[in-house]
Structure 1
Amino acid sequence: MNTEKIRAFVNAVECGSFTAAARKQNKAQSWVSNAIADLEIDLNLTLFDRSAYKPILTSEGQTLLLHAKNLLSAETAFLNRAHHLSDGVEERIVVAVDDWLMNQDIRLALVEFQTTFPSVELVIRQLMTQDIIHLIEENEVDVALATGRWFLDKSVQFQTLDYIETCLICSKNNPMGQKKVAHSDLVGTKQISRTSAFNLENKYLDLPDIEHINVDDMESVITLVENDIGWAFIPKEIALNHLSRIKIVETLVSEKGHLLRVELITSELRANGIATQWLKNKLATLY
């Protein structure tokens, strides 16, 4: 079916007259009248009551109006998708961001991406870094923001954007807050860790030979530490905002409680077209 006829029908309704619809479509008024009449013949329905000064929608026309608008929207989406594909724009991009790194700037960048590439299906995964690395190894992620240095095969590109400072926190009345803490001081205690979707350990943050309590969100981490259920490694920036509830501990525990890389990771096995490159460049400017 000719969508120009359907467009004439929708424009006539939205503009209030066949004459105004003709101006909007840059057509003669007679063309719009004939297009709508042809559409009514095609459908074997009367869409407008023409007995009054201005055509009025019939009940059948009112019922079909929403479907007509949806059809025109689908046509626009189809043409945009075809245009993007011809220009090398991907159909779908999966972005994974470590939940420590997700912030308003990144969210706004993703909004801008979707505005710039409306035909691209954008999938956003907010996970722990070890889960993100697992998905990259399974070739399920296009672009990722992760923490730490992970060693993957040559099909993955790394770009260090920044560093995130972490620290060990305990309750305000825990004795470990009065000294520099070594690994041996933590034996027999409980580490509050983030929950992994794939039951994986974070080699940079999860200490061996320590009992772990896994939780999904930062507020639960802070609350458990505040009540002396255990201790945790968290971003220092977050810890500084909760000093009324917890204490930052000086530590001698290897790399733990120090700096972690913020890595922009891209899989070369995935479709790295115009949209992926735009997103990589945009995320890189945030650091």
Structure 2
Amino acid sequence: MESRFFIAPEQLEAFEAAARSGSFSAAARSLGKAQSTVSGLISNLEIDTGLTLFDRSGREPKLTAQGRSLLHDARSLLNSYSRFEAKSRSLNAGLEESLTIAIDESSIDLKALTESLQAFYSKFGTVTVTLLHASGDSAAKLVREGKADIGIVLSQSDYPEDFDFRGVGNCSFVMVAGKNHPLTALDTVGVQDLHNHLHLRISASSDPASMPENDLSDRIWYLESYSLFMTMLTAGLGWAFTPLHIARPHIERGAITVLNTNFQLTPYPYCTDLIWSRRKTLGPAGKKLIDEVSRVLSAEKVVTEPA
């Protein structure tokens, strides 16, 4: 039967520190241990593995070929031990193991969301986060069904009774078309002008019965992907009412044009809400995420017109 041996984390820690610092004495100082203790841990590791990890014939110990071969694995194991300890402490403190966030991209600038997530990760790095693309009402549906812990959505006039929400910011919408679209040649765009051209809309559903009502065009295409949506717009295929944070880069490079309408399509700016269900109590990580998104968005200047 193959013999088994137990490698203690302290042995790997002493081995890695000595390899990194170049001496047992320096390793001992970095670990806050006596040099004899570090030397003993490394010697025991060599006995347990049956390998010579350091050549001690010179003034300072040098890694052998066997030692170099094992160093990467030792560091990987030490990282695993650290993650295990951190996650154990987090679970004991009631921290969630994972969070799922449903995001309607029209409701939040992804740069702002990323800044929020960076601050969140610095404090809750052990929490696994899943980000779901959820256009329109599908984010609220995912939260309602328990498939997402938090939703980031455009504000709704009425939420289910078992929902909690927090208003965290604003986002503006503009009516745009590709730079070569016929509508861009008009000094002023009226409702009848829109009727004559294809309207592109973002929708999470492929069921025609559930599509949002629209009386601004006789021709409507529904898309789930904003990347395809913007590609089609810049190519001149249709017009759209688009979140400014998504349209702005394309406006600035001249690929799409803001249309000058003689009517106000809908009040703006829209509010951005964070939503979650009262059926599932948010833990420290979920509450921190809400706070970070609120902090970042509240610090942003509300813009209602393109620059």
TM-score interval (norm. to shorter): 0.7 to 0.9
Identity value in percent? 25
Contact 1:166 1:259 in 2 (8 A): yes
For 2:239, give the aligned amino acid: W
Residue in 1 that maps onto 2:243: 235
In 2, distance between residues paired with 1:239 and 1:114? 28
The answer to whether the aligner puts 1:164 opposite 2:176 as a matched pair is: no
Residue in 1 that maps onto 2:289: 279
Identify if the C-alpha distance between structure 1 residues 23 and 237 changes in structure 2 by more than 3 Å, giving closer, same or farther.
Answer: closer
In 1, distance between residues paired with 2:134 and 2:112? 17
In structure 2, the residue corresponding to 1:123 is in which secondary structure?
Answer: strand
In 1, distance between residues paired with 2:157 and 2:145? 15
Residue in 2 that maps onto 1:248: 260
The answer to whether the aligner puts 1:51 opposite 2:63 as a matched pair is: no
Structure 1 residue 176 displacement after superposition:
8.2
Structure 1 residue 237 displacement after superposition:
6.5
Residue in 2 that maps onto 1:79: 85
Structure 1 residue 119 displacement after superposition:
0.8
Identify if the C-alpha distance between structure 1 residues 242 and 22 changes in structure 2 by more than 3 Å, giving closer, same or farther.
Answer: closer
RMSD value over aligned CA atoms? 3.2
Residue in 2 that maps onto 1:222: 233
Identify if the C-alpha distance between structure 1 residues 48 and 60 changes in structure 2 by more than 3 Å, giving closer, same or farther.
Answer: same
For 2:261, give the aligned amino acid: V
Structure 1 residue 152 displacement after superposition:
4.7
The answer to whether the aligner puts 1:28 opposite 2:34 as a matched pair is: yes
Structure 1 residue 59 displacement after superposition:
1.4
Identify if the C-alpha distance between structure 1 residues 80 and 63 changes in structure 2 by more than 3 Å, giving closer, same or farther.
Answer: same
Residue in 2 that maps onto 1:14: 20
Residue in 1 that maps onto 2:161: 154
CA deviations on 1:249-280 (whole Å, 9 max, x unpaired) are: 24466xx4655332111233445111111111
Gaps of 5+ in 1: none
In 2, distance between residues paired with 1:86 and 1:276? 16
Instruction: Give the alignment partner of residue 117 of structure 1, picking from 117, 121, 124.
Output: 124
CA deviations on 1:13-61 (whole Å, 9 max, x unpaired) are: 1111111111122222111111111111111111112222221212111
For 2:274, give the aligned amino acid: L
In 2, distance between residues paired with 1:108 and 1:76? 26
Identify if the C-alpha distance between structure 1 residues 199 and 97 changes in structure 2 by more than 3 Å, giving closer, same or farther.
Answer: same
Structure 1 stretch 263-272 or stretch 46-55: which is displaced more? 263-272
Structure 1 residue 211 displacement after superposition:
3.4
Identify if the C-alpha distance between structure 1 residues 237 and 176 changes in structure 2 by more than 3 Å, giving closer, same or farther.
Answer: farther
In 1, distance between residues paired with 2:56 and 2:21? 16
**In the TM superposition, what are the counterparts of 1:116-195 in structure 2 within 5 Å?**
116-149=123-156, 151-169=158-176, 173-174=182-183, 178=188, 180-181=190-191, 189-194=197-202
Identify if the C-alpha distance between structure 1 residues 3 and 177 changes in structure 2 by more than 3 Å, giving closer, same or farther.
Answer: same
Q: Structure 1 length normalisation: TM-score?
A: 0.82
Identify if the C-alpha distance between structure 1 residues 71 and 188 changes in structure 2 by more than 3 Å, giving closer, same or farther.
Answer: same
Structure 1 residue 220 displacement after superposition:
2.3
CA deviations on 1:105-136 (whole Å, 9 max, x unpaired) are: 22111111111111111222343232322322
Gaps of 5+ in 2: 1-6, 299-307
In structure 2, the residue corresponding to 1:51 is in which secondary structure?
Answer: coil
Aligned residue pairs total 279
In 1, distance between residues paired with 2:268 and 2:35? 73
Q: Structure 2 length normalisation: TM-score?
A: 0.78
For 2:260, give the aligned amino acid: I
In structure 1, the residue corresponding to 2:137 is in which secondary structure?
Answer: helix
